[in-house]
Amino acid sequence: LRVPKRYRHPALEERLSRRRTAQEARSLLRCRRAGIPAPVVYFVDYVTNSIYLEDIVDSVTVQDHIYSVQKSGDDTSSFHKLAEKMGELLARMHDEDIIHGDLTTANLLLRPPTEKLDLVLIDFGLSFISGLPEDKGVDLYVLEKAFISTHPDTEMMFQALLKSYAATSKKSGPVIKKLDEVRLRGRKRSMIG
């Protein structure tokens, strides 16, 4: 269900909500067709701009999983394998030209038991279709920034994710190159203000 933005003109809000609902449903269906784990779409209601999805029962976000392992003092060596699985999943998604638009560890679920590392991508509300390495690089950059801000001391985890992404994706070379360019632009922007 999309929460209306009251500051927007009602006609614009309706048009944007309808377009985003349709794009989210399309991206979810495209993922499912490609064998990429995402919730099943049961029904799309364009009157209320709602999508009725499969409930991933007893799942936990990757974000919460990382927090709980770090908080409990458990061995974090499992993070490396989790990062590799995430890299493989994102490479497969990008090879299908699906750009998530909001990649964070909160938008990746782990099905139980978490040791199996059975990942599911969720929240495709900002997704779109693009074959451009720039868009894929920005998608990865958003995730990298999310890692830095949400999970301090997990830099090696993101590096393992990128290595796995590069090994899995058929088109990783130009994407990683663009990611490096996007990083440079981001650094320049933060220096200038």
pLDDT number for residue 2: 66
Alpha-carbon gap, residue 148 to 134, rounded angstroms: 21
pTM attached to this predicted model: 0.90
- Say if strands 108-111 and 118-121 run parallel, antiparallel, or are unpaired: antiparallel
The reply to whether 102 belongs to the active site is yes
Among the listed residues 64, 74, 75, 102, the single catalytic one is 102
Buried b / exposed e over 65-75, threshold 16 CB at 10 Å, is bbeebeeeeee
pLDDT number for residue 150: 94
pLDDT number for residue 1: 61
Q: Which residues of the chain have pLDDT under 70?
A: 1-2, 187-193
Cα dist from 157 to 51, 84, 126, whole Å: 33, 8, 25
Q: How long, in residues, is the chain?
A: 193
CATH superfamily of 60-192: Transferase(Phosphotransferase) domain 1 (1.10.510.10)
Query: What would the pLDDT profile of 8-59 be if each residue is shown by its tens digit?
Result: 888 888 898 899 999 999 999 999 999 999 999 999 999 999 999 999 999 9
Alpha-carbon gap, residue 163 to 180, rounded angstroms: 14
pLDDT number for residue 192: 47
Domain spans, the chain: 10-53, 60-192
Residue corresponding to tokens 């074959």: 131
pLDDT number for residue 53: 97
